[in-house]
Chains A and B, each alone.
Chain A
Amino acid sequence: MKKCTVFILAALMLVGLMPALWATAAEEEAEGPVELVIPHYKAGQNVGGKFFLPQVERFNTMYEGEYHIVIEELPQDGYMAKMKQLAQQGQLPALIEGADNQWFEDVMIANDRVYDLGPWLNSHQEIKSVLIDDALSFNTVDGAVVSLPQAVTRPIGLFYNETMYDPGKRIGEMTFDEFADSLGRNKIAFMTSENAWTTGLFLTGLIVAEPGGAAMLRAGLEDKVYDYTGPIWLRATTRLQGFIRESGSANTLGAAYADAANAFMSKSAAVIANGPWMVNDFTPSSSDKWSGGFNGNQVRGDIYPGNSAIANVMGYRWWIPASTPEPEREAALAFLEFMMQPEELEAYMIAEGGTAPKLQVSQSFLEQQAQDRVLSDLATAVNADTTFTVAVYDAMPQSIANEEFGKLLPKLLDGSFTPAEFLEALSKKAEETRM
């Protein structure tokens, strides 16, 4: 009798759960705005969130009652790994920004798991007309447009504090030797943790300064580089080691991005290599990040010695998984359309810098851009002879770029590895990623 009672009670508990399940199903069918939950790193304290989150809010306001986007915060260096995991589970969100090229091509494109944006672009000629040709060509695979090509290119260079460092002339016009001499006792905000982003950008500049360096990196965009023991890498890495040891900020060993940015924005370092999105940190609204007498209006922008800048339009940007249900896909496309409006593109360039070569910009935009001295510096630093290059990260396999490069750098800095040993270890790691 007791057992019967226990069994009936257990059955009743199970039945009790059913309304909750029905309620969930009913909620899914309920009328209301289509909600997109998009995990993204441009949130919270991430510098990219300063423009992106208000942009999402503008979209939500414009499409109130129809679509609603919720941003779920993710750490930047784990973003792509998370997307890969979600892809394997068939749980990808409706919009993803960027991709590990190798994975995207071998898995997502090869298995028709990416929504073709071609027909949508053809029906939105006003968007298609502003896309950069190289970007559109790169993103067109077997006639399908696999991700939204870029309309804006943002040359990545460096920033310096003019109250600490007076280069005397444009840094882009210098050689790296002249740059080293002009630095004096000033420090550069390098990183040796996470993916060592600022250090990797500086290394890119050093590689491009070597004969054949830019072409080698460019080739690595399509066929990743697995062997880093060649003379270009060796010379560039030897110079990098010299810069890090002679001019690296005091916190370089173990510095993550936040530490490097903090070194620059506390006047512990006079120079930092980074992209124009960092100008957000130099506006008065970010003054809570400043210390040691730093002020955003002390910052100037330039490109790398040897007249090079990093600008890669040949990458995958926003894309929609093919499995996305129709209502969510419509919402995702509406967001892409919203982002590509001329006024949004202009707002983006004002906030994070860059140029849209095929967009007819407004007069007010030009006036606003001219008022921002750092963005103006970057825009005028490039000339017809500037070498635009891809970053070392684009030429390396994913785990080498994101993990091993940063993990091995402390050994280069503390002298445990010579540059040759460092590159040999990195090559060995890269070779191991080939299965």
Chain B
Amino acid sequence: MKLDKLGRKNLPWVYLFILPSVVVFLTFYLLPIVTVFVTSLTRWDGYNPPTFQGFRNYSLLLSRSVFLISLRNLLWWSLIAGTLHVGFGVLVAFLFSRRPVGWKAVRTVYMIPNVISGAAWAMIYRFIFNNDFGLLNGMIRVFAPGFNVKWLFQSPYAFWAVTLTWLFYAVIITLIVHADLMSIPAELHEAAHIDGATGLQIAWRIDLPLCRFSIGTSVILSITSRIAMYEAVALTTRGGPGDDTMNIPIILVNAITDMNYGYANAAAVSMFVLGIVTLVLVNWLFRMNRRVY
């Protein structure tokens, strides 16, 4: 495309204003990513110079049961995140878009958990799931007095207990989808009403397809959060009991504790690759390269 006179005159300014972003990207994103990729091929204790050893860290990673268990857990968590977690957030967004009585108050309450850090939530859940004085077992014991489950320390409950620490906190998803819903032209709804469509039909056949982008984006956010999920596991089960709730970030941090930075970075690369795969898959599934309107 040929630039006109004004465009050519503005070009130095364009570059000047882009420059800080480019510098920040190169320094704080690209360089660390390249470093992670390169050092994943080395034996490195974090202090002495790394020594190249090819793909040994990757073959070790893939041969260890803890990595395979982590992948299995990630697959389950991703499925739950992409369906129940996102589904819940979308459902709440749809409810808010109908503006029922008291929706603003509910919205405020719904947002509150989002201002509490993940680490704090993990600690709160340790108390909620406590067998002796925890809220959950206390409520269950009202109906079943002999109930006795240590949620975070018994198989197979630990996996589900960790899942519950994030499952219903879908504020970001609700915000994204709600904003998308609000931008749907009112004429479409009016036309549907004139044609005799019910509220459910409008939601299913108009609103939901038109929110394809925001729902797809939410699925990407939700699954990548599961790939990088650390506090929810580290501060509750630390990957236990046994390896029941292990995930890749815990493998990464443990490797750092053992001064195996090359191995830790191989785990980091696997997270990076899984993130890219998620991005491509969700883009394809939600046809995010095609226009909505």
Contacts and interface: CB of A to CB of B under 8 A. Distances in A.
Interface of A: 3, 7, 81, 84-85, 87-88, 103, 106-107, 111, 192-193, 250-251, 253-254, 397-399, 402-403, 406-408, 410-411, 414, 416-417, 425, 432-433, 435
Contact of A399 (B60, B132, B254, B262): B254
Contact of B154 (A106, A407, A410): A410
B163 interface: no
Given A432-B64, A435-B43, A398 B241 contact: no
A408 B153 contact: no
B238 A407 contact: yes
A425 B244 CA distance: 13
Contacts of B46: 84, 88, 107
B239 interface: yes
A416 B155 contact: yes
Contact of B258 (A250, A406, A417, A433): A433
A149 B13 CA distance: 64
Chain B contact residues: helix, strand, loop or mixed: loop
B45 A399 contact: no
Interface residues of B, number: 33
Interface in B4-29: 13, 16
A192 B241 CA distance: 9
B150 A253 contact: yes
Contacts of A87: 47
B260 to A, nearest CB: 5
21 contacts: A3-B13, A85-B256, A103-B259, A106-B45, A111-B47, A193-B153, A250-B132, A251-B132, A254-B131, A403-B238, A406-B238, A406-B240, A407-B237, A407-B240, A407-B241, A410-B150, A411-B241, A411-B242, A417-B242, A435-B258, A435-B263
B114 interface: no
Interface in B234-257: 237-243, 253-254, 256-257
A106 B263 CA distance: 18
Given A103-B259, A399-B254, A416 B153 contact: no
A398 to B, nearest CB: 6
Contacts of B66: 432
A319 B152 CA distance: 38
Contacts, number: 87
Nearest to B242: A411
A425 B258 CA distance: 18
B48 interface: yes
Interface in B130-189: 131-132, 150, 152-155
B150 A399 contact: no
B258 A399 contact: yes
B16 A111 contact: no
A254 B153 contact: yes
A7, A107, A403: residue with the most chain B Cβ atoms closer than 10 Å? A403
B153 A192 contact: yes
Contacts of B16: 7
Which of B48, B152, B241 has the most CB atoms of chain A within a 10 A radius of its CB?
A: B241
Contacts of A85: 256
Contacts of B152: 254
A142 to B, nearest CB: 18
A106 B131 contact: no
Contacts of B257: 81, 84, 398-399, 402-403
Contact of A107 (B45, B150, B153, B243): B45
B117 to A, nearest CB: 15
A435 B256 CA distance: 12
Given A254-B150, A410-B241, 4 more contacts: A408-B240, A414-B241, A433-B260, A435-B263
Given A398-B258, A399-B254, A402-B257, A425 B153 contact: no
Contacts of A3: 13
Nearest to A87: B47
A432 B46 CA distance: 18
A81 B253 CA distance: 9
Contacts of B241: 407-408, 410-411, 414, 416
Interface in B41-99: 43, 45-48, 60, 64, 66
Nearest to B10: A3
A192 B237 CA distance: 11
Nearest to A193: B153
Nearest to A113: B47
Given A81-B257, A433-B258, A88 B47 contact: yes
Contacts of A84: 46, 256-257, 259
Most interface-central of B60, B239, B259, B260 (chain A CB within 10 A): B259
A308 B243 CA distance: 34
A159 B45 CA distance: 41
Most A CB within 10 A of own CB, among B46, B238, B242: B242
A107 B259 contact: yes
A433 B66 CA distance: 13
B239 A407 contact: yes
B17 to A, nearest CB: 9
Contacts of A107: 45-48, 259
A193 B151 CA distance: 13
A408 B240 CA distance: 7
B248 to A, nearest CB: 15
A251 B253 CA distance: 28
Contact of B254 (A103, A192, A403, A408): A403
Contacts of A250: 132
Contacts of B48: 107, 111
Contacts of B258: 397-399, 433, 435
Among A106, A399, A402, max chain B CB count under 10 A is at A399
Contact of B153 (A111, A410, A417): A410
A193 B132 CA distance: 15
A226 to B, nearest CB: 12
Contacts of B253: 81
A122 to B, nearest CB: 29
